[in-house]
Chains A and B, each alone.
Chain A
Amino acid sequence: KAGVTQTPRYLIKTRGQQVTLSCSPISGHRSVSWYQQTPGQGLQFLFEYFSETQRNKGNFPGRFSGRQFSNSRSEMNVSTLELGDSALYLCASSTGQTSGNTIYFGEGSWLTVV
């Protein structure tokens, strides 16, 4: 069974631009979560989608948004990029059950903002 797939793996953007990252969950998983990882802040939860609906949300500004499609694939978008948005963005998937959830991570998308 294929794992969580994230694209692109690496990208460089300029301040003020926007970026879209993609995540394909494990087959059969309906929940997709996004995390931002930086050296200073560690792993921070962005949001979670389940069956195309945002179910949980972290404390990030509105420039960070996401969506989930009917096939459970998810995208996250960051608009008006700032230097501080440089980070590893991790996608994770799970079945989305209310108990006993195991969350599996992709290898991440490295975003550098210059």
Chain B
Amino acid sequence: AQSVTQPDIHITVSEGASLELRCNYSYGATPYLFWYVQSPGQGLQLLLKYFSGDTLVQGIKGFEAEFKRSQSSFNLRKPSVHWSDAAEYFCAVGAGNEKLTFGTGTRLTIIP
């Protein structure tokens, strides 16, 4: 069965600092990988996705993620965070028309 691990429950970074959120997955075949962001009281917004091809994926709001098959990882990065990036971030894995399996999320706090 597929699974996703987000080892960091909560991360705090200073505004303007770089960010990396970790995601590890377990899946038997080549997975489809996603990062979603959820602001308080809101639904999930898609940041980026990886299906195939270039392992470095660019998303919205200046985010990028890199798929590393050898490490079963799909870490999310941003070179300089803004206060508006404070939210909860979810990594998800799926394949074909199967359901998405989500990680438990990482809550990001930005300090001025």
A residues lining the B interface (CB < 8 Å): 4, 6, 31, 33, 42-43, 45, 48, 50, 55-56, 58, 90, 92, 96-108, 110
4 additional A-B residue pairs with CB within 8 Å, beyond A43-B105, A90-B44, A92-B44: A6-B43, A43-B90, A45-B100, A58-B99
Q: Is B71 an interface residue (CB 8 A)?
A: no
Is B96 on the interface with A (CB-CB < 8 A)? yes
Residue B32 interfacial (CB < 8 Å): yes
Cα–Cα, bound, A31→B99 (Å): 11
A48 touches B99 (CB 8 A): yes
Top 4 closest pairs, chain A to chain B, by CB: A107-B43, A43-B102, A105-B44, A105-B43
Query: Is B55 an interface residue, CB under 8 A from the partner?
Result: no
A49–B44 alpha-carbon span in the complex (Å): 19
Establish whether residues B102 and A106, one from each chain, have CB atoms under 8 Å apart when the complex forms. Answer: no
Tell me if B97 counts as interface (CB < 8 A to partner A).
Answer: yes
Is the Cβ of B97 less than 8 Å from the Cβ of A108? no
Q: Known contacts A105-B43, A105-B44; is A96 also within 8 Å of B97 by CB? A: yes
A92 / chain B contacts, CB cutoff of 8 Å: 44, 100
> Is there contact, CB below 8 Å, between B90 and A101?
no
Q: Which of chain B's residues has its CB closest to A43's CB?
A: B102
Q: Does B27 contact A (CB under 8 A)?
A: no
CB-CB under 8 A for A55 and B97, given A105-B36, A106-B43: yes
Set of chain A residues within 8 Å of B99, measured between Cβ atoms: 33, 45, 48, 56, 58
Q: Give the Cβ gap from B5 to chain A, nearest Cβ, in Å.
A: 12
**B11 interface residue per 8 A CB criterion:** no
Check A107 against B42 for contact (C-beta < 8 Å): yes
Q: Are B49 and A102 in contact (CB under 8 A)?
A: yes
Smallest CB gap from A10: residue in B: B41
Question: Can you sample 15 A-B contacts with CB below 8 Å?
Answer: A42-B102, A42-B104, A43-B90, A45-B99, A45-B100, A48-B99, A96-B97, A98-B97, A101-B94, A101-B96, A103-B46, A103-B100, A105-B36, A105-B44, A105-B45
